[in-house]
Amino acid sequence: MKVLGISASPRAQSNSDILLRKSLEGAKSAGAQAEYLRLCDLNIQPCTECNACYSTGVCPIKDDFQIVMQKMLLCDRLILATPIFFMTVCSQAKILIDRCQCLWAQKYVLKKPLAETADRDRRAMVIAVGGTKSKKMFDSIRLTMKYFLDVLDMYYAVNLFVNKVDMPGQIEEHQKALNEAFRLGAELACADASRPEKCTDVELFS
C-alpha cells in the first residue's frame, strides 16, 4: 500500500502540514509505505492554457509536475492538505490541480484511459484548515476536489476539515484534530477496509 501525502501550504510546518504528517504516521502504523511531498519545495509552473494537451494528452511544460503526476497516478492512496485562502485551496494546490488538465484532456477529449490507474482501488483524503469561524469555506474544497480526484481515477473517501485555526502551530493545541488525522490516515491505508458509499466528512468546527 503506497500512500502519497502532498502538502500545499506555503508555510513550513503549517497547521494543515502538521495534520498531514500525523495522517501519514497513521498510514505507516497500518503498514503502508508513506511518502511526503511539499509543493513549495518543487518547481511547478501554472497552466498556460495553450491547449496542446488536447491533441497529445501531454503537458508541454517541463518541470517538476511530471514527477508529481506520476507519483499521484502510481500511489494507492492520496492525502492532500491545504490551508484555505479566500474560501478555496491555496495557490500552490490550485497550480497543481490546473496542470492536471492534461490528464483531463487524455481522458475526456482523447478518450484514452489512464493506464497506471486501471482496475485499482485508489482512494483519497483531503485535509483543509481555515482560520475563520465560517463553515461555508469548505464548500468549494469539496467541489474542486471532487473533479480533481475524478481526473486521477481516485475515489473521494474522506475529508478532515478544521476551522478557527490560523496562527502558526496552533493545531498542536487541538488534540482531537491530531487524533482524527492519525486515525483517518490509518483507516485510509487499510487495504481490507470496504470503500464507503459516499465521502465521509470529519468536521471539527468551533
Each residue of 144-192: pLDDT tens digit? 999 999 999 999 999 999 999 999 999 999 999 999 999 999 999 997 8
Each residue of 17-28: pLDDT tens digit? 999 999 999 999
Confidence of residue 41 (pLDDT cuts 50, 70, 90): very high
Each residue of 185-198: pLDDT tens digit? 999 999 788 888 89
Instruction: Catalogue the long-range contacts made by 190-193 (C-beta closer than 8 Å, 24 or more residues apart).
Output: 190/30, 191/1
For residues 164 and 16, give the distance between their C-alpha atoms in angstroms, rounded to a whole number: 12
DSSP per position, 13-77 = T-HHHHHHHHHHHHHHHTT-EEEEEEGGGS--PPP----THHHHSS----STHHHHHHHHHH-SE
For residues 128 and 165, give the distance between their C-alpha atoms in angstroms, rounded to a whole number: 10
pTM beyond 0.85, yes or no: yes
Query: What are the backbone dihedrals phi and psi of residue 129, each rounded to the nearest 5 degrees, phi first?
Result: -125, 130
Domains of the chain: 2-204 (3.40.50.360)
Q: Which three cell numbers stand for residue 12?
A: 513550513
**Residue indicated by cell numbers 490507474:** 117
For the chain, give the percent of residues with pLDDT over 90: 91
